[in-house]
Structure 1
């Protein structure tokens, strides 16, 4: 593990995923954390965090971003004390607005909500994040839109406390406090890597994460395929049932 992203969701995590990938790092974002090491996280939630388990889960991974690693960054840092830590941040007003828009987008997408109900992988995703939420303590409603809408100041305090803790715990030489608007230079200087001859990426604009994941993420593409298979099976079953009912009444 070379880089632990400790910035909370909606501080540029998708952009950082793209930037670190461009720099040659093998990155696990929240869907990869679910798909490849989700069982390991569930085990740690139930049995307690162990350095040995964390090392095993991420032994061949260079960087992590987003849930649950951003919340449990300190447990990861204990397992990988030589890793560099990047604390992405942004102004609170735009962060809260982006967070709320994101959750409205996720919860308002009918197909995504349906996928979490009738597809194998979608159901696993829903179960995994429900379990994760239960182990966030006071952050248990972190994925709930109503929490954002009704408790803005409470969420702001959570963000401030989280960022203060990162700054207090991580040695200064291993910590970068970073805004993605700063581009390549401070990031590459901190990681001691060359600046790419490409524009700095900007992902998840206007909470477009679902569109981007459907285009780029294999796990989300799998869920979408399963959804269409499930819908086709349900449609076929419904047609067959109606056909049978029709013949019962006309015969």
Structure 2
């Protein structure tokens, strides 16, 4: 199914740009454009720690009614989508007829079906190197704030950080260990970015965070992070029942809360 042309009224969402798009193509739910929006972008080669943080942050934002915006790339981008669907907007450098990168095909199709996909390029277009930076300017312009989850000093994510500052978008980073994310640590040192010390507090700036309730013993057990094996030993088939009910997600060997 071909993409559709985004109604021109929505282009005002990109007024922060000097080179505003003349047209955009979309697949999915246009209602997401009316939600509060936060961008999460970062390294394709992220650490396990960053992956877990991105999943938790994206899920926390979703549960607060905040839409996460990202670029569908490997690493941080696609995990931001995994944690936030269906409240996710993916902005792509390629035309939407093509799935790129192919590694993310399953989740990108979920963005098309359950979230919202946008592209500045016609369906058949295959991206060039410069298109990814052009895409990033759209991600930043559309969002109320930008989170750089992990970044090397010389990287597209750091170029996105500079774009965020030029557009006067609030810039945030995750707490990182020394030598693991030199770019975000430098942004923090130079007072160009704010630290996210608590995901719920951060989400409350943009949406409505529900009061936590741990009356459910199983969910309370999973809240601090447990493996599937630990949960199965203690609760048996309840693990899979809760997964089917959408209360938890199983990511590899780990359990992640969804509600």
Q: TM-score range by the shorter chain?
A: 0.3 to 0.5
| Bigger RCO (CA 8 Å, 6+ sep) | 1
Counting strand residues as a fraction of each chain, which structure ranks higher? Answer: 2
Counting helix residues as a fraction of each chain, which structure ranks higher? Answer: 1
When Rg is computed on C-alpha atoms for both structures, the one with the higher figure is 1
